[in-house]
Amino acid sequence: MSLLAAASRYPRVAAIATGIAVASASLLTISTVSSVLPAQSISFSVPRSYRGDFYNEMNKGEAALILGVPRSASHKEISTRHKKMLMTNHPDRGGSSLLASKINEAKDVLTGKKAKR
């Protein structure tokens, strides 16, 4: 009996055999690709100046770290980043009031405005 005749006579067997063939081919492809390509590792580094807490009085370095901009960022960059971060962390939207105040203070420090206390 030929393979075509067997497939027409037993369609379920043919479907299962086709599925096994496709699965075997994909496993073979995955194992070949993974043996050829080197494994990539993801590294995450924190700047050395970051201690994990806030300074008593915020400086430009800490302000830049909070907003995620360089110390020499333009006023437009600072304002754009401030707005984005405040929209995400605003207390009215479930954010922290401490974080919101630090974000505002960081903008004031980087733009040269005095923080209102």
Q: What distance, in Å, lies between the first and last C-alpha atoms of the chain?
A: 91
pLDDT of residue 3: 57
Structural tokens at position 9: 């006579």
- Domain edges within the chain: 3-36, 60-111
In angstroms, rounded to a whole number, what is the distance separating the alpha carbons of residues 107 and 86?
Answer: 11
In angstroms, rounded to a whole number, what is the distance separating the alpha carbons of residues 109 and 82?
Answer: 12
- CATH code at 60-111: 1.10.287.110
Q: Do 73 and 24 form a contact (C-beta atoms < 8 A)?
A: no
Q: What is the mean pLDDT of the chain?
A: 76
What pLDDT digit, counting tens, does each position of 78-105 carry?
A: 999 999 999 988 889 888 898 899 999 9
The residue-averaged pLDDT of 14-32 equals 70
Q: Do 76 and 83 form a contact (C-beta atoms < 8 A)?
A: no
Greater confidence, 21 or 98?
98
Most confident of 14-28, 45-59, 87-101: 87-101
Nearest-10 crossing angle of helices 60-67, 97-111: 120
